[in-house]
A and B are shown apart, each in its own frame.
Chain A
Amino acid sequence: MNFVIQIKDLHKKFRIPREKRDTLKENILHFYKRVEKEDFHALKNINLDIQHGEFLGIIGKNGSGKSTLLKIIANIYKPTTGEISVNGSVSPFLELGIGFNGDLSARENVYLNGIIMGLSRKEIDEKYNEVLAFAGLDEFMEMRLKNFSSGMQVRLAFAIAATIDTDIYLCDEVLAVGDINFQKKSLNIFSDLKKKGKTVILVSHDLDSIKKFCTKVVLLEKGIITKVGNAEDVVNYYIQKSEE
């Protein structure tokens, strides 16, 4: 089997202090008194294999661990226990962004991100027009990014993330923002990626799109995978359960 991502018994725990104590003074003054920390288990016992060319949907309520899972796949968070292996390069689009710098112009941000994704300046030169066409923000490219509206920032971010040629695409809530026009474009991009046989992981609350594109869907509830299967079944199960 040709697995791109393999996750075995993965567990992610965050230690959340009940009282905020992140200064040294507080730590010294209250040294004798231990901070009570609550363990928050964001992900529990996750086992998941993703094959090459699969279009995986992840659904679940807010706070069920979807974004944490994507961040672990993107190598931003480390798992507390368990294993994850990712074969191939990853283009992350997480929490509506890709790591912009508001003080740089939109154009400079395209280059900065391209370079972090491993492209050379020359390769970005070649891709630049494609990003422009997709984002549709031609006249704003010399403007500083902090003056962009949040919708425009997301458009540019997704344009970069989707245009870069990698093996695995992580998309967190792309469809929630952007105008109708842009949503259409995004859906076209998904079709393209699917045709090209790329591996895509899509987190979304837009269940219709999930049904339309995903070859496999995972339902996360409180950090546990409660159902895996084809899109139709899992989405219907999720809707049914929410209505109960």
Chain B
Amino acid sequence: MKKEKIISRKNIRILKEITISDFKIRYQNSLLGYFWTLIKPLLLFAVLYVVFSIFMRFPVENYQLYLLLGIVIWNFFAEATSIALRAFETKQALITKVYFPRIIIVIASTLTSLLTFLLNMIVFFLFLAISNIPFSFNFFFIIIYIIELYFVILGIALIVSALYVKFRDLSHIWDVLLQIGFWITPIIYPLSMVPETYHHFIYLNPLARVIEYSRAIFILGHIPELKLNIVLFFMVIIILFFGVIFFHYQESSIPENI
């Protein structure tokens, strides 16, 4: 076989086409369409906000922003990985009939979730705008965190999507893992409430870092230290690298096992 380049105009066109049609399909059959993706995190937010700022109180200023940002970021991770997990099952007809680099399917699936996430972020910015926090150029740092977040998600999506082809009950296992992840990531509770000794365990989780650092730039008004940013950067690289390598070795057997 002739070796074709992975990054070619043809493949970029395929990626674009599949991403756009994925986005269309995801919302075309529902009455409220895209609004569901806003309603879901907002409902979760409303419930948790009532529980944790009226019933129980966390000593956090601007808790509503603190909570919403955590939920929106977590929701992106949870949704993107669960949908990507089944990506090959949903695209079965395509991948057993025609060849193109299989990684495109996973990238397209996660990019579709990225679009949803960006739309959810607009809601966060609306909340931010009506709060008493003044605008700061530090806010633009979020772009770096969104890119890093995306690559963490892509790395994990590559692993779970390829594994799912061989182990179908991974979808149930993944649901459970996401539940656990929701509670061990500082989404609803402030990290300061967790005993200091556990902090380095929590920080092994790149999502905890992305969430905490994003809160730092928006709510606490400071950019996290360079050292912390470098650690996060290397975590992202390692996850993405591992995902790409793992996927590379599984790729050719996907059409036979799906």
| A111 CB-CB contact with B under 8 Å | yes
Distance in angstroms between the alpha carbons of A151 and B102 in the assembled complex: 29
Shortest C-beta distance, A5 to chain B (Å), equals: 11
| A103 CB-CB contact with B under 8 Å | yes
| B17 CB-CB contact with A under 8 Å | yes
Find the B residue at minimum CB distance from A114: B17
Contact yes or no, B96 A76, CB < 8 A: yes
* Interface residue tally for chain A (C-beta within 8 Å): 37
| B28 CB-CB contact with A under 8 Å | yes
* Interface residue tally for chain B (C-beta within 8 Å): 31
Chain A residues near B98 (CB-CB < 8 A): 74, 76, 92, 98-99, 113, 116-117
Contact yes or no, B17 A112, CB < 8 A: yes
Given contacts A101-B93, A111-B17, contact A24 B170 (CB under 8 A): yes
Which of A54-62, A83-91, A216-224, A227-235 is near enough to bind chain B?
A: A83-91
Distance in angstroms between the alpha carbons of A102 and B98 in the assembled complex: 16
Chain A residues near B96 (CB-CB < 8 A): 71, 76, 94-95, 99
Contact yes or no, B93 A99, CB < 8 A: yes
Distance in angstroms between the alpha carbons of A86 and B252 in the assembled complex: 17
Of A14, A85, A92, A103, chain B has the most CB atoms within 10 Å of the CB of A103
Contact yes or no, A24 B173, CB < 8 A: yes
| B1 CB-CB contact with A under 8 Å | yes
Residues in A24-63 with C-beta less than 8 Å from chain B = 24-25, 27
Contact yes or no, B255 A77, CB < 8 A: yes
Contact yes or no, A97 B170, CB < 8 A: no
Residues in B4-42 with C-beta less than 8 Å from chain A = 10, 13-14, 17-18, 21, 24-25, 28-29
Chain A residues near B173 (CB-CB < 8 A): 24
Q: From A24, A87, A92, A120, give the contact of B13 (CB < 8 A).
A: A120
Find the A residue at minimum CB distance from B16: A115
Which of B81-89, B113-121, B161-169, B233-241 is near enough to bind chain A?
A: B161-169
Chain A residues near B100 (CB-CB < 8 A): 116
Given contacts A24-B167, A87-B2, contact A97 B25 (CB under 8 A): no
| B97 CB-CB contact with A under 8 Å | yes
Shortest C-beta distance, B165 to chain A (Å), equals: 9
Contact yes or no, B167 A98, CB < 8 A: no
Distance in angstroms between the alpha carbons of A234 and B255 in the assembled complex: 32
Distance in angstroms between the alpha carbons of A109 and B255 in the assembled complex: 21
Contact yes or no, B21 A104, CB < 8 A: yes
Given contacts A23-B168, A25-B169, contact A112 B93 (CB under 8 A): no
| A184 CB-CB contact with B under 8 Å | no
| B99 CB-CB contact with A under 8 Å | yes
Distance in angstroms between the alpha carbons of A78 and B29 in the assembled complex: 37
Residues in B146-172 with C-beta less than 8 Å from chain A = 166-170
Given contacts A77-B256, A116-B14, A116-B98, contact A24 B1 (CB under 8 A): no
Contact yes or no, B1 A112, CB < 8 A: no
Chain A residues near B99 (CB-CB < 8 A): 74-76, 90, 92
| B48 CB-CB contact with A under 8 Å | no
Chain B residues near A108 (CB-CB < 8 A): 21
Shortest C-beta distance, B91 to chain A (Å), equals: 8
| A213 CB-CB contact with B under 8 Å | no
30 interchain pairs, CB-CB under 8 A? A22-B166, A24-B169, A76-B95, A76-B96, A76-B97, A76-B99, A76-B255, A77-B255, A77-B256, A78-B252, A85-B1, A87-B2, A90-B99, A92-B97, A94-B96, A97-B93, A98-B98, A99-B95, A99-B96, A99-B98, A100-B94, A101-B91, A101-B93, A103-B25, A104-B21, A111-B17, A112-B17, A112-B18, A116-B100, A120-B13
